[in-house]
Structure 1
């Protein structure tokens, strides 16, 4: 297969992960936490790089494409650790620290407060003991490999004299 085909597969994989996340959100009713949202942006970047790579299949562009899922995998691994209580996550989405210490009882009971706050340290869905963040990390690492195969396949063969 050519580098262009591998790049298309990698970009399609990132697109599929994005569509899956949106399906869980809008069809399944599972609102994303902030770290879930952070995992989506690198996949969007990979889709855009993939579109450019279809027109201009260059090895350096394929390596840049690999950075999208690699970044998403890193965030997914961190998120998994927060969910499993291996380490603390951001105070803004885990309830850790003194995030509520400055609020009065009236502030806490205010009707202006968000209706549904999704916490990053709570698993909303899992399959085979792995959360969505874990699955994103695993599948993103597979996509990194596909991007690197695309880079290798799009490299021009060197002639040895």
Structure 2
């Protein structure tokens, strides 16, 4: 799994003109899933994300997690994270898991985050989505699950 994590002041996702998920301060996650991904990798990333200290404490140091600040998560599936652009001008998405494999793991990953006490809003798997966020910092980090 690959997650692009952005610390945000607010974020939302809209499908066909309707806002289907929105949060205030917290984390915006773009989540990509490949063929070898498992629940173990999802659990690793959920644990890492819940405890990642990227919010500032009273001294201005990145020392607090999304859990510590009572923030929320907006999680959006993003198969294009596995786009391969090394050849030609059109990305190949052969490394991205097929929807029938990716969607259940994406849903399980979000449930793992909820089990850690986090509020998790989501986009709509497979839909064309308009995603908006106010990146806070900006802070953007790319996380990968360990190899299977």
Is TM (by shorter chain) over 0.5? no
Taking structure 1 as the reference length, what is the TM-score of the superposition? 0.26
Larger Rg: 1
Q: Which has the larger strand fraction? A: 2
Q: Which has the larger helix fraction? A: 1
